Amino acid sequence: MLELALEHARRAGDRLEESEILGEFVFALPAGPTPVPQAIRRLDELMRDTEPDLRLDAWVLGVRAMLEAMRSRLDEARSLSEREAAILDELGIYWTNFLVSSHQWTIEMLAGRPEAAEEAVRRRSELLRSDEATVMWNIDSLLALALLEQGRITEVRQLAEKWTDMRGADRQTRVTWCGVLARTAAEAGDLQEAERFAREGVAIAAADELNMRAASLVDLGWVLRRAGDVDGTAAAIGEALELYERKGNIAAAALVRTSFAD
């Protein structure tokens, strides 16, 4: 459907519509089922016949940065994201501060540096100053995950208390918060509630969005390990690793193997 829309926009010479459609294409590549090497090639194909557009160029840099981080090319990923930020800052498109911070957050989380991921989100979210609930849900979800990895459970609970009503949130945000709530409940010793949240996240996660589904399974595996369910943990983590490897997310798979080495 998007390819047909793109063809019509190009025939009509509608540059703005073409840019918007290409944006939808490129943002789907890190999340969807296309393996990382093919996704990078697809980016090149999409941009080959596209007229110069600084905003779209920045989007592509950000997406490529995430893809490079997934295959553990972290220095390259950071360089690409810095170029993305510089272009968007120069254009004065400040609503994209969340976009930049989410890309930098992804890179640093895949690098195993949650402190740097937290800093990336806080630095950019201060510039954003958005009152839109959907944006703030996402910002706080990224912060919560970075804080969880640092063991700062009290701060995570404080963030979670702000978002008791998640109606209207997108699927990714809902899955993320299910994982956060599952892990905080497990830390509090409520393993039954923790498993309920974790399984809800797995149920919500889209089957074709491999990174999202894998992350939800890792949350489930984390809870089941705390509950002493060895077989359940092995099944959840095994499926998560298979999904990450299918995507080509080498960095995430390596982190999971380290966390669940036992």
Other C-beta atoms closer than 10 Å to the C-beta of 187 total: 16
The type of residue at 214 is A
pLDDT at 8: 47
Q: List the one residue out of 133, 138, 225 whose CA is nearest residue 182.
A: 225
**Residue 169: per-residue pLDDT:** 76
Q: Residue 167: its pLDDT value, please?
A: 66
- For the chain, the domains span 1-92, 153-262
- C-alpha 183/C-alpha 83 separation (Å) is 35
DSSP code of 158?
H
Q: What pLDDT is stored for residue 135 in this prediction?
A: 73
pLDDT for position 98: 83
144/162 Cα distance (integer angstroms): 12
From first to last of its 262 residues, the chain has per-residue pLDDT tens of 555 555 545 555 556 556 666 767 788 899 999 999 999 998 888 777 777 788 888 989 999 999 999 999 999 999 999 999 999 988 887 777 788 999 999 999 999 999 999 999 998 776 665 556 667 778 889 999 999 999 999 999 998 887 666 667 788 889 999 999 999 999 999 999 999 999 999 999 988 899 999 999 999 999 999 999 999 999 999 999 999 999 999 999 999 999 998 7
Select from 1.20.1250.20, 3.40.50.300, 1.10.287.130, 1.25.40.10 the CATH code of 153-262.
1.25.40.10
Distance (Å, whole) CA 93 – CA 58: 11
Task: Tell me, rounded to whole angstroms, the distance of Cα 227 from its chain centroid.
Answer: 27
On whether the CB atoms of residues 121 and 143 are closer than 8 A, the answer is yes
pLDDT at site 11: 55
pTM of the model: 0.89
DSSP per-residue string spanning 58-116: HHHHHHHHHHHHHTT-HHHHHHHHHHHHHHHHHHT-GGGHHHHHHHHHHHHHHTT-HHH
183-191: Cβ within 8 A, 24+ apart: 183/148, 183/219, 183/222, 183/223, 184/148, 184/153, 184/156, 184/157, 184/160, 186/222, 186/223, 186/226, 186/227, 187/153, 191/223, 191/226, 191/227
- The tokens 């009290």 sit on which residue? 154
